[in-house]
Amino acid sequence: MLKAMLSEAWLAMGANRLRTALTMLGMVIGVGAVVIMMAIGQGAQYAVQQTISTMGSNLFIVLSGSFTTAGVRSGSAGAPTLNVADGAAIAELDGVSNVAPTHQGTRQLVYGSQNWSSQVIGTTPEYLDARAWNIVNGAGFGDSDVRSATRVALIGKTVAQNLFGDDDPVGKTMRIQQNPFMVIGVLGSKGQNLDGRDQDDTVIIPLSTAQRKVFGTPFLGSVRMIMVQADSAENMPRVMESVTSLLRQRHRLREGMPDDFFMRNLSAAAESEAETTRTMSILLGAIASISLLVGGIGIMNIMLVSVTERTREIGIRMAIGARQKDILTQFLLEAVMISFAGCLLGLLLGLAIALGINAFTGMVVVISGSAALVAFAVAATVGIFFGWYPARKAAQLDPIEALRYQ
């Protein structure tokens, strides 16, 4: 019986092709818009998530304080107020999973006839853990390298390409500021950070080597920055508070004296960026669903016209034994079929356009099966919701009146 009804619904749709096609177009545009907007929105979210995950999670940095000489203020990390011992003390605190004192700056690198300017970071092995940075070729340095200030370096992908070209950099010796450094490993690619800076344009060397050979320090053991990783996002505020009180105590700051260091929550900035894209993607989806709603109203409109036009047919069907349920099913089925067919076409159109956007603009789009499922569920709901009223109207016609209708 359902099969017979399906084929009848198909016939009815075919009876007025242009009208059916235009009704369907409403759904096609609606579903297509939802698919495209979701693909773009999720793509943007994915891109931001990706960038955030390259930064490392639950991170904050402690910068040494500023100083003032003759009214000129140095800005953060100008004064040598932090040292390696502060880092070691922070590492003892509860909820801290990694601590990496760092000293960084831009230096000229030389290998053979090539040279390249890059960011040089002097730090401890924990830095790589905190930032979840892996080594794809060669190996990292250990605590013994930091203790004995060996001249070894890890280089990012960009540095490897610019300095070594097609050669394998591992085992080669390059120079940073006249000092020879042996490349012992190549870092995995991280791409751009949120500011758009190339994170792969980096050289990482042991902290002690950086301080003694590359940057020099005002006092032995002083660092400009300490990167701290909390063990969870929930613990971040508590860890930041305990680091503040620990450092104030260690620096012998009395009540009322300002901190001689700064703290920056790196994760918070990233989270707010993620929140922004999430909001944007919800907004895009909401706007697109309005067109889906309009498509549904189009279906209802046409079904109402169809019921009026086919009043006599409904009368005949009732006379030969169609129950109210049968008439209801018939018209509902038509509405759902139009909406499903429209949804399917819309899905294909949306996918094609989303892939086109990706191909021509390089914008990241994410096409998820769940988005397609949601679109389908919504289309079915729209079909039933907007098909219900006309179908019920048809089913409740009086057979005598309907038969008399001209």
Which residues of this chain interact with other proteins, rule CB under 8 A? Answer: 1, 3-5, 11-12, 15, 312-313, 315-326, 399-400, 403
Q: Is 238 exposed, middle or buried (0-12, 13-18, 19+ CB in 10 A)?
A: middle
> 263 - beta bridge partners?
62
Distance CA 361, CA 196 (A): 18
Q: Provide the minimum distance between the beta carbon of 396 and other proteins in the complex, in angstroms, as a whole number.
A: 9
Partners of residue 152 on adjacent β-strands: 182
* Choice between 55 and 327, CB closer to other proteins: 327
C-alpha distances in Å from residue 228, one per residue of 99, 172, 202, 240, 370: 5, 32, 20, 9, 37
Residue among 358, 266, 343 nearest 30 (CA): 343
Instruction: For the beta carbon of residue 63, count every other beta carbon within 10 angstroms.
Output: 19
Angle (CA) 104-106-111 rounded to 5° is 115
CB of 332 to other proteins, least distance (A): 16
Nearest distance in Å: CB 274, other proteins: 56
CB of 3 to other proteins, least distance (A): 7
Query: In the bound complex, what is the minimum distance in angstroms from residue 312's beta carbon to other proteins?
Result: 7
Q: Which CB sits closer to other proteins, 10 or 220? A: 10
Comparing CB distances to other proteins, the nearer of 182 and 316 is 316
Cβ distance to other proteins smaller for residue 135 or 403: 403
Instruction: Using the minimum distance from each CB to other proteins, give the nearer residue, 340 or 405.
Output: 405
CB of 4 or CB of 70, closer to other proteins: 4
For the chain, the straight-line distance linking the first and the last C-alpha, in angstroms and rounded, comes to 29
Query: Are 187 and 201 a contacting pair, CB within 8 Å?
Result: no
Query: How near is the Cβ of 301 to other proteins at its closest, in Å?
Result: 22
| 261 Cβ contact partners less than 8 Å away, ≥ 6 residues apart | 62, 63, 64, 65, 81, 82, 247, 251
Q: How far is the CB of 25 from other proteins (least distance, A)?
A: 23
Cα–Cα dist 77/265, whole Å = 16
Nearer to other proteins, 273 or 313 (CB): 313
